[in-house]
Structure 1
Amino acid sequence: MAGAAVAYGMIGLNFLSDRHGMLGLMTVTGHSEILVGRDADLAALHDALRRVRSDEPAAMLVGGEAGVGKTRLVEEFTRALAGEPVRVLTGQCLELGEEGLPFAPFAAALRELVRREGREVLDGREADFARLMPELGPPSEFGEAHRGLLFELVGALFARLCAQRPLVLILEDLHWADRSTRDLIGFLIRSSRAPRMLLLATYRTDELHRGHPLRPFVAELERVRGVRRLELDRLDREGTAELLGHLLGAEPEPQTVDAVSSRAQGVPFFIEQLAATADPACADLPETLRDLLLSRVDLLPEAAQRMLRVAAVGGTRLGHDLIARVAGVDEITCESALRVVVAAQLIVFDPDGGYEFRHALVREAVHDDLLPGEHTRLHARYAEAIETDPQLVPPGRAPAEIAHHWHAAKNHPRALVTAKQAADEARRRFAYAEQARLLDRALELWEQVPEATELLGVRHLDLLEETALVAIDSGELQRALSLTRAALADLDTGAEPVRAARLLVRRAKLVRLAGKSDGFAEAKEAYRLLTGAPDDRVRAGLLGDVAYLFAKSDGDEVERIWEQLRASADQHGDAAAQIAAELTKGQVCAGRVPAAEGLPILRAAVAEARAAGDERALTRGLINVSDVLFELGRYAESATAAAEGVPHAVRYGVSRTTGVYLLSNQAEALLALGRWDEADALLAEAARQDPPGLVAVPWLRLRARLRLFRGHPGAGHLITRLVSMLGKPYVPPEKKLWMLELRILAALSAHDGAAVLSAARAAVHEPVLLDRPRYAWQLLTAAARAATFHREAGRGSVHREAGPGSVHREAGPGLASPGDPAWAGPSRSAGDSASDGATPADVERLVERIRWAAQRLPRRYPAELAAAAQVEAELDGGADRWNAAVAAWRVDSQPFELASVLLRAAEANAADRPAAASALAEVTTIATGLGAAPLLEAAEVLARRLGVRPAVAGPATEVLTAREHEVLRLVAEGQSNGQIAHRLFISPKTASVHVSRIIAKLEVTNRVEAAAVARRLGLLDD
């Protein structure tokens, strides 16, 4: 989650509710210096303190299950108060229950007060306070009947303290509070009401069983004015990924994030424990944590333990009838045992009428603790029960559940048959990843079941081919490569040419995606085999795939293949093949004719696919349509086309491949529109899919650029990962240009002169440079920046000030460039040469090569025209050139590109201060809206150098993006993040990011203030 702020360090943490608490039975030390996902919660605490500073009494009741981070949230809150005129006192309830020491947290808080400020702070009432702190001496002689006097004393003391400066009184672990402590808290909140005191209490929600005395107490307090309850949620997957990244010291693999997210279920303490193991994948369950989780189980009666073991075999969620059937006990015994387990809060009631383990790791620990015979017997009973009555599990899940349990029970024949049955069911649901896993299991079991062919009714080669093809659809490249190789080795291509062609086509795609080769040899062999095969629907479909592959390598031959494909499809009336033929024709045309001419062909094919319900063809076509629309500069339409395809890719089960391309296309269009937060959310979703091989390049490239432009520290990791792929034997031309451009930007960011020149020279001499004009122009702008960088360095006019993103020029116009996101890199001291040995002749050769390429690239669409103008300005300089570049980017309308050249234009127009100030004001507005910190900082540096003030252009409304205006309107209506997400068709995470940015831009602390400021400034006016 965005906005990490504090540490999750948990020592002596108690967890999971019995009177002592599960974690209370032992001390666990886990430590991380990062807390993620608590920005809104911290803002709520600071908002409460703001109200206190305005002489309003306030109390915050912070609840959440053990391990979720309540204590660390409070610690970060108090840490932020260091140096401020605020007094903070802390006390903790003791784990002794109703019979424990009365007023324990207040005694601890007062001890802290006396230790810091001396006994004088008690104003001569030491004897009275001795009832709370015996070390003060003999207590005064008022009895228990006059307990109210003690309450008045405490209230008066806090009132005196508050008169001096605001007081934050923190009371931890209120779930262990005794009756006297609760009464004193109630008095302070209801009666004393010290105007400048914030009472901050934490408690565990998972401790509050039905009869717990804190439940009604908290409910009563909530009705008091100024009292608010704050419930801390578990981290979502993004939060888990971010915390793991900090704990592991590197960005975790998506599979690791998925596994930890599923097992730890967003509890930071569990995430820390899993990350602390030696296993890089965090798959091990530490023995200390396992013992911790089982300690509470050991306290249950034996009957309840048996029932918990039965439940653990069934999974994290399961129904009551299934548990009862497998347990083999009468209904009363079953309910009695389950009631004990539920009371211990090890499992909870599921909204659908079943049960769910409160924590997946508890289920895992209980399951792993089963005896071998017990494990086999219970899994077999689950399989038999579900086979007898499939209604015991959710619809559609019976085949997979049965296969799982027979496999766990080690019944190989039944496991083989049910695995194939479950795989067939998964295929019908387009669940290719699940189907691939089940087919892999069937292949593993094949050798262990002699009668496998008779049981399944298929040959081993049939199963091998099916598994290979499914591995492709599920995005398992390496597995698919191994399987296709094995299948082709076992196949008689002369006897089965169509099957061989099918496998060769799939293999051609695989080697391309893996970066092993262009796949053209496999495609040619497949075409040869199909040429002599009977003309039928299968052959027609494969010809479409061959044409697609030839389109990438042999455009002349693909037209002949297309004619064959179209004739075959028409002859057989095969709608799918006809659509595939039209899509192939559109792709060929898109590469050979202007995009505006190829677009109608693609759109017609997409319309046919949509009408026919052909989701595979539809998603493929929408990728191409969105791509062409982007090239034409029609960014909103491009985003819409890609967005249409995403749900189809999900339904068709190709989220890891086709779905990632669609997400990336949509994100690229949103970046061009300036909707960076939405784009980042889409790229995060693409990353979660863990796309294989070169399929990952589009999202990596876009997120690396976004992070670079925002000055995000994670940009370097992504760029390194991306550029490393240049070493693959085969990289498609457009992807190669992306990598080369980012290598230049990375070198500029590091202020590494030698690397800048080397990367730029390699890029402009790349043989495929002129093959992809759209991306070649982007690369040339980066190379031109590199040339300017070295020209300025050669004149000795550039050095770094202290602080990233700042630049100072002693002489000379131009820039290596404060508008360039590269200026987020490490500082160099004054006098350091950025050229690192580059001679003026080296730089001029680079310039000449850039000019050579620029003269040969077409200038057809707005972005190409704008990039050409920018390259000319970069190489030739001058106010007129930069003003022309600004005008060209205004036509294209990409805000970041416009702001970057505006910054350069401001410097070029330095003699015209009003013009420079106006340009810098516009840069400031755009950079603020985008969150482009390096660009914003560069504008501020240039403004200081020029002696102008880069005031935000126009009213405050211009600081907000169009999407943020939409969100702000809904915030003003009182809509929650979930409701905003539903209304705007975005994710709740994206809605949350928008709200956070609005609050930051309007310089307020919460949604209510944001709405009030919006109304006052007229930001809600039409």
Structure 2
Amino acid sequence: MLDAVLPQSVSPVFVGRGTELTALTDALARAERDGEPQPVVIGGEAGLGKSRLLEEFAVRATAAGATVAVGGCVELGSDGLPFAPFAAILRSLHRRFPDALTAAAAGRETELARLLPGLGESLPQPAREAAGDRARLFEFTARLLERLAADRTLLIAVEDLHWADRSTRELLGYLFRAVQDARLVLVATYRTDDIHRRHPLRPFLAELDRLRSVRRIELRRFTQAEVTAQMTGITGTEPGTDLARTVFTRSEGNPFFVEELTAHCGGGLRGMSESLRDLLLVRVEALPEETQEVLRIVAEGGSTLEHGLLAAVARRPEPELLAALRDAVGAQVLVPTEDGDGYRFRHALMREAVTDDLLPGERARLNRRYAEALEAAPQLVRADQRAARLAGYWYYAGEPAKALPAVLDAAVQARRRYAFAEQLHLLQRALELWDAAPPGTLAALRPVDVLWAYPESGPPRPADQVDILAEATLAGVLADQSDRAQLMVRQALKLLDERADPLRAAWFWMQRSRLKVDGVSRRDGLAELGRAKELLRGLPPTTVHAQVFALAAAQMQEESRGPETFEAARRAVDLARAVGTESTELYARLTLAALRADSGRVEEGTAEMRAVLDRVLERGYVSLLGRSMVNLTATLGGVGRLAEAERTARQSEELAGRHGLDEALPWLATNRAWILFMLGRWQEAEAALEAVVHGHPVLRLRSSGLLLAGIQATLRGDAARGTELLADAVAPLPGRDLLPDFALIHTRLRIELALADGDIGRVREAFLEALPLPAVPFTTTLFWELLTAVAGAEAELRGLPAAADGRAEALAGIRDVVNGVSAAQPLWAAFGRLVDAALRTAEGRGRPADWAAAADALEPLSVPYYLALARTGLAESLLAAGDRAAAAGPLRLSREAAGELGAGPLLDRSRRLAARGGLLPEREPAPRAAADGPGAPAAARDAAPAPFRLTPRERDVLALVAAGRSNRQIAEELFISPKTASVHVSNIMAKLEVSSRGEAAAVAHRLRLTGTP
């Protein structure tokens, strides 16, 4: 319609972005040459030229033979217009390559039709499977782009990410991570000045920063020289120095403001208002009043507006409307859209200024006209946008009777496109409108309008607020907004009469239990499930029954492996089968299988878990995939099948990434970190924990990761770091009755820290405070690790004067706990031998045969740290028996293992033991840990000059003096005579220039002369 008007950029000369354009063209070249996707994010203030940079890049990419498709986010996205830029991108690609895109989408048409209507019919899915279907949509989109980019280079751009709906952000993030082996450049732009502290884009950008593949480009403001060059390009002549300086000062180097000021600087800027809004409106106010009125209509219609809808709302003769549009396009206020069917403001800031200039009544009137026009002629906008835009127009028109059904319809459409965050936003808006809507409107609503969340809804009846709250709860869960979902549940339970409507009440009590997501306290959510069971008692079996019992069994397994837990899991399986809900059946079968494996039926249980996993993959129940993989990995590790567990964890992480299960990846990484620690691959374990310990939102996961990292840091010799991580882990947990697995690693870290300080009192205190520790599923190996730590501490610190008091009671308490822990698996039995040898040594009746039996049992199990502990104990026992020759072999192996692991304290201990027995090697093993700071291993510190000229033997003696040993005890420890020990003590006191043993101990502790804090 506007062929005679050829819009030109106000500034035909491209200025000041050479470095950024080079970076983009380099990315395009790499994608073309190497076939690797190149993700780029461009940020900058409004008006800095992000779109202009993208336009220049697109021109060069097209000239180089690449295909360019651009989609822009629109402000309407917050009102439920999800995936808008991707829908535009796929439409553009479909127009250019209809056959290629159809072939690339083959077999996936039903899902991809949610982004590109016309590929197939998108069918609604049950709410419980929606999360999995959404993950599949993301995966199919990634594969579609890979297939299209196999035969051509693609430049895909998403503009104005600051306006993106959450679903768009999540799909974009998935594509950044998941697209592989494709000649694809994926660019996104956003306005930095719009990203306030709580803006949802901020955490998204932080996640992108962790991806090494994503390149960030931040646009800067122009220098004065660049402003002068831009003005020269606009006017064709170089401006005077004073004028250029004035424009630079007024614009502050913002290219868009430079354009606007230059366009109106004929009078030297005299008389122009300082207001930014007035500056932006100067170009508009120079147009005829009829054109200004059309611009006000366009501004309120949305970021882009179809010509047909504009014509229906403007209500003007076509020639008059076209004349106004020609004026607006010619003045560079409006530009035609890419498809030639509509218009948009040349710059969003100008549209914002026009919109802000509208009166409140004027805005409501325009929105009403838009809504009426769209209702009268729905074909004026694309089908995938119709519901959301109609809902927005009626809402801003202030018409609750019209807005409520429109908003609910838009919520349905958002859910069908798996845009759960946008669905939740719309449902909250519906609740806001509820009280203002007239009774007749409410009576016309049916449960189908809100996709009733559970099938037993009875005969048709008008929808009520509880229906809306049920849908909003599910949307909150699926959108990972548990705080809002919890609010919906609380509101619903206040509205419900539990006696009159027990089924719906039970459903909400179940959701309340499920939303207790921290998962660190005993009995989390069980009280709520108990209430749900009471409400269901006596009712015919339903899906809600099966779901409640399945969730109860899953939570009970963290408390007990008793008959009642098995019975709850079996009943959940039976109920799910009876009512025909396979996903709930698989959930319950997984619980039952894990219980069987932990109870000793390992082969049966793990085989069933793999069968469930296979069925989950076959049926596409992606919502169950994460739990299936996490539980299988944890079970294999927990029963000591470490190599298989590590392999399964790696495969599971790959599978989770392929299906977009970002929430499962940290759980799998934490499981794998513990397995890698057990296998002696400590550096890999630390790397696996890295993302978990840095502010992960799930409390249980973050705190577990912190405790595991703290244990490893302490065993490496960095007790200060271990103490810091312990404090970070427990800070959010004051007064919590912790779950057993959590309590075990918490107590283990406390004991390791106390041992590092040589404080036997703190060791015993930590252990006693944790009692009683019930042996529950999936914690047996953790139990044995804890018992190894506390028994080993009693054995290692047995010579301290403080250790004698209460020793018998402490050791008896440890043995009482040992007697209640299963030794049914080879790993557990080997730990049992290690603990027994340590306890016998602490009692003063240790024998080399006890330690040898422990070492023999541990050797084939691939747990090098614990094997090194056993060999160190064996060497010490052999030296005490006078058999130096036999001690040399196990001591050498222990030292080598400690050096490989970077286990500083264990290496220190074995070195001192070798020194006492005269078995020092010619060369110390080099530990992997960094050799600086107080936590560095002694072998690394020994390379430095000895402080105070202390010999290695004198440092050993000083360590024992600092520990409170007498000369006779020192002699026994070092296999020397008491007289020789006395001579060493006298020499040490002379070198330290102190007059007493106490002063010597104080100096040793203060200056860390002995290798211990």
Ranked by relative contact order (alpha carbons within 8 Å, sequence separation 6 or more), the top structure is 2
Considering only CA atoms, is the larger Rg found in Structure 1 or Structure 2?
2
